[in-house]
Chain A
């Protein structure tokens, strides 16, 4: 069975600084990978996903994540964050053939002015 590890519970960063949110997973089969974002008082929204093809995937608001099979990682990055990026970020993985993703504990991104 797959598991997801988000090592950082909280990541504080100043506005316009770069940020990386780490995600590692354990699985012995092919996987689909996701990042969801949860803004205060809202549900989760899909930020980006890797299903197949290019290992670098991008979102419309400047985030990107790279699938690294050898390191079983799917870290989320943004070169310059905004105050509005303050939110909880969840990494999720589903194994090929499984329909339900397993979620990590979440990383709270706090952007300071």
Chain B
């Protein structure tokens, strides 16, 4: 595997379910990010991790819970989501969080019923 991978690629869940999104980067980077991409809206930054520590949390509802066990893996735990949370969730990484260019994964298409 190369670059940034995300699993699953598609996820359908009910509002009472608990699920997790996984991101793995094979680039040796120290910073990782979660973004939410909704149709025709700017990318919304959700969380930033640097060396496994959270450095930014952009007022994301608590039903989204990130976890970064090491610099190569990032999870987004989902619990009691709402239909408006349906979107493409993108993971990205960069050498460190002061580096401007980001490397994106293919995303997980989430549908909340």
Find the residue from B6, B92, B99, B102 having the highest chain A CB count within 10 A. B102
Q: Is the CB of B106 within 8 A of A90?
A: no
Cα A103 to Cα B44 with chains together (Å) = 8
B43 close to A (CB within 8 Å): yes
| A interface size (C-beta, 8 A) | 23
Q: Contacts A43-B104, A44-B104 known; A99 to B97 CB distance under 8 Å? A: yes
Cα A102 to Cα B87 with chains together (Å) = 18
Tell me the B2-18 residues at the A interface (CB within 8 Å).
4, 6
Q: Is the CB of B100 within 8 A of A45?
A: no
Instruction: Give the size range of B's interface with the partner.
Output: 20 to 34
Cα A4 to Cα B41 with chains together (Å) = 12
Q: Which of B92, B97, B100 contacts A49 (CB 8 A)?
A: B100
A32, closest chain B residue (CB): B100
Cα A32 to Cα B101 with chains together (Å) = 10
Q: Which of B42, B100, B102 contacts A51 (CB 8 A)?
A: B100
Q: Which residues of B contact A (CB under 8 A)?
A: 4, 6, 33, 40-43, 45, 48, 56, 90, 92, 97-107
Q: Which residues of A contact B (CB under 8 A)?
A: 4, 9, 32, 34, 36, 41-46, 49, 51, 90, 94, 99-106
Further 14 A-B residue pairs, CB within 8 A, beyond A42-B106, A44-B90, A94-B100: A36-B104, A41-B106, A43-B4, A43-B106, A43-B107, A49-B100, A99-B97, A100-B33, A100-B45, A100-B97, A101-B102, A103-B43, A105-B40, A106-B42
